[in-house]
Structure 1
């Protein structure tokens, strides 16, 4: 029994805070919030069926990560992007995601490539059905299945944080600011390069895909900033 004395007891609230944190990250990644939207501790606690403590922990951890912002009134909000911010994020994404792609291509196995191709096929099906929310989720799976294969967890977390920063705009890109069909060849080129373990071609395919989405994102950001200034931006509260 003496050895057990050195083990800290399980903190259930901390566990719930972690679960709430993951749920919020998933909702942000899926684009369930809108730029500038206010998120209250009480609302998070109610939707996730947890107490105020884990809800507060989850929100303020996301603030600390730079995913959410705390305004001068201590209100937690979804940050609104600017074209300049998109350009900065894009430059960082290009560097990090090309690195992850090159590392993954060197060690990826055929089973993982098959999974990436299956997710791409799901994306194509969702595009045909005009289910853009599901399409974005499938796109996320394509990219992060690849990046996870690199075996670099710190790099993966950095990339995920960048995607979370732009998540609130993703569902607004299609179909007004980009045609999904124009982006499909980038994934097809990527999958072909992964099959032959050609790291440079795979990295270039990822770079082209990032630049394609960044151009659409810049157009969406400019449009929604104009709508926000005129008070016509819709608010979503789905978690």
Structure 2
């Protein structure tokens, strides 16, 4: 496992809900792949990164541990969980049911300028991959997906998706650089965008399903060759 991970501050503000703000920032980092499997988390390093006291950092970590997004060892050390390929495949099967559904709903509910927003995210993704800034590319890939799921307008569906992404977000960083360089995700996103332009909800859902399946298969291949480490 690597050492304690620090995340960049994103304007955490003072107030009565400081713990919630730290929780949301840490949670968003997990969703977007800012953390990698095996990364250690400490309240001290988190509080230092965000400029807050230890208490809200401890509480935020504890909340996410209760949600299963952070692993707690027998010695009470916190770290990002390491999924094996069977666990990742199980979650993928559920994602493939929920996320195309959200995509289909988004086609029916999206605003007129939504396609331009998706195109901008996807082109930024392409540029980051070409520059071999794979961490930024993964964050943009996450933004592409989560922006669509937000547009679906279903708080219940988004919560279900987020629950799964909290578990798999860090493991998505295992996607090989070779796979990313081939721009498979970028091209799949273009198919999603094309379906949005045609207002074809079924085609958008199918393109999203293909993107999820291909990406998951590539990650599972890596996981089969690099089993998770033990504590």
Q: If the TM-score is normalised by the length of the shorter chain, which range does it land in?
A: 0.7 to 0.9
Corresponding residue for 1:137?
A: 139
> Are residue 213 (structure 1) and residue 211 (structure 2) matched?
no
Matches within 5 A, 1:82-97: 82-97=84-99
RMSD after superposition: 2.1
Matches within 5 A, 1:36-185: 36-176=38-178, 179-185=181-187
TM value normalised by structure 2: 0.85
Q: CA deviation at 1:176?
A: 4.3
Give the SS at the match of 2:183. Answer: helix
Q: Could you tell me whether the CA contact under 8 Å between 1:13 and 1:53 is conserved in 2? A: no
Q: Distance in 1 between matches of 2:55 and 2:153?
A: 34
Q: Could you tell me whether the CA contact under 8 Å between 2:34 and 2:135 is conserved in 1? A: no
Q: Distance in 2 between matches of 1:65 and 1:129?
A: 35
Q: Distance in 2 between matches of 1:70 and 1:177?
A: 32
Q: Distance in 2 between matches of 1:181 and 1:19?
A: 34
Structure 2 portions without partners, runs of 5+: 1-13
> Are residue 35 (structure 1) and residue 30 (structure 2) matched?
no
Q: CA deviation at 1:177?
A: 5.1
Q: Could you tell me whether the CA contact under 8 Å between 2:85 and 2:224 is conserved in 1? A: yes
Structure 1 portions without partners, runs of 5+: 1-11, 232-239
Q: CA deviation at 1:75?
A: 2.2
1:125–1:178: structure 2 CA closer, same or farther, 3 Å change rule? closer
Give the SS at the match of 1:197. Answer: coil
TM value normalised by structure 1: 0.83
1:197–1:136: structure 2 CA closer, same or farther, 3 Å change rule? same
1:177–1:221: structure 2 CA closer, same or farther, 3 Å change rule? farther
1:90–1:44: structure 2 CA closer, same or farther, 3 Å change rule? same
Give the SS at the match of 1:110. Answer: coil
Q: Could you tell me whether the CA contact under 8 Å between 1:36 and 1:79 is conserved in 2? A: yes
Q: CA deviation at 1:30?
A: 4.0
Larger radius of gyration: 1
Q: CA deviation at 1:209?
A: 0.2
Q: Could you tell me whether the CA contact under 8 Å between 1:112 and 1:145 is conserved in 2? A: no
